[in-house]
Structure 1
Amino acid sequence: MLLSSTRFVRSAVVSFVAAASLTMAVPGNAYAIDHIECRGGENFLKIWSHSGGRQSVDCYANKGRTGFGSWWVDKISTGNNDLIYYDVNGDSVRINRWTEITFPHRPPQVRDIEIL
């Protein structure tokens, strides 16, 4: 009886350690948003922006959130991505996939972007 109880406890401890190891090795909220090269014909998130006299066109792929450096956004093409941008005033704005939007008069100053 004591031997079977010891085996049960040992088995339970080994199972717990294995589960804990997997939980630590594969976090549930790890996303890998990627800043990628813009290519014509692709359906990536594409953002045209400016700051300090410089202009930029940036493309992103994969789910996640990243800083955008508080640049002023002139145009967004979401491609096949749902997007939330977070501006420097603390507002968040969701833009659905397959949407193209321009900001000719009052562009938002964007702190972070998130692909859903």
Structure 2
Amino acid sequence: MHSAKKRSKVGGAAAFVGAVIMTLLGPVTNASAGELPCDGHTDYLKIVVHGAASDNWNGTRCFAGPKTAGRVEGWLDEISTGNNVVQIEDINGTYTDFAKWTWTVFPNRPPHIHYVYIY
């Protein structure tokens, strides 16, 4: 039979370990998920979006690393993959792959995208 006292010690230990990990590694945020300032880098994934569900997704954003860039839900005006293999998921669930070093502009009929993935 487990006592409440024993369970609280286990819960307290788990919370302590979590606090230590967060102190050493820092919190997981969008910035740590691969978003970086563009600063003229051509090797990053660069997307230009308008009409996004969240205002902070509108404009030009850059990402690097094999992680999900995130949920966009906006119109993709431009994509430059840099040194990244990228896949976009449009709002209808269709996936489109982009190879490394691909630059595509959608001047007339931009795709309405849901997610951007970096592989």
- Structure 1, unpaired ranges of 5+: 1-31
1:38 and 2:38 matched: yes
Give the structure-1-normalised TM-score: 0.66
Measured against aligned partners, the alpha-carbon deviations of 1:53-112 in whole angstroms (never above 9, x if no partner) come to: x74000001102143320100010000101000110100000000110011111011111
Q: Share of identical aligned residues, percent?
A: 33
Match of 1:102 in 2: 105
Q: Counting strand residues as a fraction of each chain, which structure ranks higher?
A: 1
- Structure 2, unpaired ranges of 5+: 1-31
1:75 and 2:78 matched: yes
Contact 1:85 1:112 (C-alpha < 8 Å) held by counterparts:
yes
Contact 1:33 1:63 (C-alpha < 8 Å) held by counterparts:
no
Distance in 2 of aligned mates of 1:93 and 1:33 = 21
Give the structure-2-normalised TM-score: 0.64
Match of 1:27 in 2: none
Match of 2:51 in 1: 51
Larger Rg: 1
Distance in 1 of aligned mates of 2:34 and 2:69 = 9
Structure 1 residues 47 and 33: CA distance shift in structure 2, 3 A: same
Deviation at 1:113, TM superposition (A): 0.8
- In structure 2, give the amino acid aligned to 1:34: G
Number of equivalent positions: 84
Q: Identify which range, 92-101 or 37-46, moves more after superposition.
A: 37-46
Match of 1:14 in 2: none
Measured against aligned partners, the alpha-carbon deviations of 1:22-43 in whole angstroms (never above 9, x if no partner) come to: xxxxxxxxxx741111111441
